[in-house]
Amino acid sequence: MTTPITQTNFANLHLVHRGKVRDLYEVDDHLLMVASDRISAFDVVMDDPIPNKGAILTKLSLFWFDYLKDIVPNHLITANVEEYPVACAPYREQLAGRSLLVKKAKPLPVECIVRGYLSGSFWQAYKSDPTVCGFALPAGMRESDKFPEPLFTPSTKAALGLHDENISLVEMEKIVGKEQTARIKDICVRLYVKAADYARSRGIIIADTKFELGIYNGEIILIDEVLTPDSSRFWPEDQYQPGAGQPSFDKQFLRDYLSTLDWGKNPPPPPLPQEIIEKTASRYREALVKITGADI
C-alpha cells in the first residue's frame, strides 16, 4: 500500500483548480488531472484520506472511457506517465497510476445525473410529493425501487463547500438551450444503460451516476471521471431488497456513518475512525475488482 496523497504541489506546473478529490494542472495545451486520496461526503472534504482511492478511481475511469467510447468521445489523451510532457517528468512517481493527461474541454454548466432507482435526494423529495423536479413519478414507489425507465435529472454546479441543487429539464433548457439539452440527455441515458447492463453482469447495480460532459472543438465529449464510487451509487445485486436503503460499494457507506453523528454536514468535517477508513477503502477496491476483473 502506497502512502496516501491528500494534496499535490507540483511547483513547475500551473495549478488550475483543486477540487474535492482532483488537482488539475495546465500542461502545454492540455490538462493534467491528478486523483488524490481525498474523500468528500455531503459536499464536504474529509480530513482523512482513503488509501489507494485515487488509483482506484483512475483505473475505473480508464475502463469506462474505453468501454463507452462508441457512444461519445472522451477527453483522454494518455495515462502513461512516460508519454506526458517533459515538464511532468520530476513528478512521475506521484503521477503514476493516479493521473490522466486530457484534452482541455469547456465543462457544461450543469451536472448530468442519470437515475435508475429511487434513492438519495429524489427519495427524500418523493416522500413529500411524487412529482420531483418536474418528473411525475409512479405512486406507491418504495425506497430503492427501480424506475420504469432511467431518468435524466440535471443539477446545478455548486462551488466547493456548497450543495448542488436538482433542477428540471425546463430549467436546464434555459441554461444550455433546448436542442443541447435533448442531445445531452440522449448521450447520458445511453451511457447509463450500457454501463448498467455491463455492471449487472458483474453483480453490481448502478443505482445512479453523475456524468461530466464538456465541449471540445465544438463537440460534446465525456470528461472528468466516469462511473466511479465517487460519482455513482453501486449496490451489490445479490443483496438488493427494495423498500429500504441498500448496502453499497460507494461513498454511501461513509455517508451512512456520518449521518449517525451530531454533525451539521458543513466544514469542518469530523475525524474518521480507522475502521471506517479501512472499510471504505475495501469497498472501493471490491468495486474495482468486480467491474474490471483486475486489482490495483
The pLDDT value given to residue 256: 84
pLDDT (0 to 100) of residue 49: 96
| Global confidence as pTM | 0.93
Residue 227, classed as helix, strand or coil, is coil
Q: Which residues of the chain have pLDDT under 70?
A: 1, 159-163
Contact 222, 201 (CB under 8 A): no
Q: Please identify which residue in the block is written with the cell numbers 480507522.
A: 274
132, β-bridge pairs: 135
Measure the CA–CA gap between 54 and 184, rounded to whole angstroms.
28
Residue 95: enclosing H or E segment and its boundaries? helix 92-95
* Cell digits of residue 296: 490495483
Task: Quote the pLDDT of residue 43.
Answer: 83
Say if residues 151 and 135 touch (Cβ distance below 8 Å).
yes
Question: Which contacts of 134-139 are long-range, i.e. CB under 8 A and separated by 24 or more positions?
Answer: 134/168, 134/169, 134/170
